[in-house]
Amino acid sequence: MAKIHAIRTGLVQVRQAQMASKGHGLARVSNMLFDKDWTQWLPIYVWAIEQGDGVVLVDTGETARVHEPGYHPRWHPFYQRAVRFKVAPEDELGPQLRALGIKIGDVRHVILTHLHTDHAGGLRHVVGCKTWVHAAELAEARGPAGQLKGYLPNRWPKWWQPDALQFQDRRVGPFVHSGAISSDEEILVIPTPGHTPAHVSVLVQGSPSIFLAGDTSYTQSLLIEGKVDGVSPNEEISRETLTRIRELAHERPLVYLPSHDPESAARLEGKIILEDTPSRLPFVAA
């Protein structure tokens, strides 16, 4: 089975109502912006999958440039009220890969779960690498409309030309579509809409299988509870994705690794599987 590294590219802190939403409709957004309670500092993980024929990266993490004046738009309420970062230059993806002995020439593919800045901020470190993103996610994030939604397309490297992920009618448990990155189909990309409309996750098949979840939930406990985050634009779609992940874990041993869960690296190291849960948990309103 492929070897997977958890690479922490700094820390992020958000309001509690972003981690687990409070209320419904516009109230969810208001609560996320004005909640007085912050989360603990959360990791920003990138995953490096070492195979015999090269390395696959899942996300690129954040950049230390987030601390530069004007890097985040001053007019955007989310960046002014609802998020904090701690990212040092040595936390960035490039230095972290070098510390692992991985050269950028060893990287065959980069898969972006979505294009929020803490997942795409490290793009400058993957120059020359083949980068994959959901075409609908790219369209969602482009231009002034993308900035309104919280993306930072003006910060993407000008040389960056991503390829569109391709999905087939290849069922993986309750997920009806998937796309193979490796020829042996050990690494699959699965649409997991919710946190963003075209969010994807990466499944590394094995015993157990490893589910690199991006931001499908902020923690494993929130997945088990069926709690939707405060960013997801459509609660029902997000909740259905959480249900499908739990159903997949019911069908096969699965290690569930969200990008901001403080316990993700330990679960990866110990191959700690998501315990069997009912196929459909009742939704508990926040």
* For the chain, domain boundaries: 3-270
Q: Where are the alpha helices (DSSP H) in the chain?
A: 16-19, 26-34, 77-81, 93-99, 117-120, 135-141, 143-148, 220-225, 235-251, 264-270
pLDDT in tens, 1-60: 789 999 999 999 999 999 999 998 888 989 999 999 999 999 999 999 998 889 999 999
Cα–chain-centroid distance for residue 4? 16
Q: Is residue 260 helix, strand or coil? A: coil
Number of helices (H), then strands (E), belonging to the chain: the values are: 10, 12
pLDDT for 25 equals 86
CATH match of 3-270 with 3.60.15.10: yes
Q: Name the residue type at position 59.
A: D
pLDDT in tens, 115-141: 999 999 999 999 999 999 999 999 999
Does residue 157 have a cis bond before it (omega within 30 degrees)? no
pLDDT for 1 equals 72
| Total-model pTM | 0.94
Beta bridge partners of 153: none
Residue 133: CA count within 13 A, CB half-sphere: 24
pLDDT in tens, 205-254: 999 999 999 999 999 999 999 999 999 999 999 999 999 999 999 999 99
Closest CA to 10 of 114, 90, 101: 90
pLDDT in tens, 163-213: 999 999 999 999 999 999 877 889 999 999 999 999 999 999 999 999 999
The alpha carbon dihedral of 33, 35, 36, 42 has a sign of negative
What six digits make up the tokens of 275?
A: 């315990």
- Cβ-based neighbour number of residue 267 at 10 Å: 19
Closest CA to 32 of 87, 67, 75, 79: 79
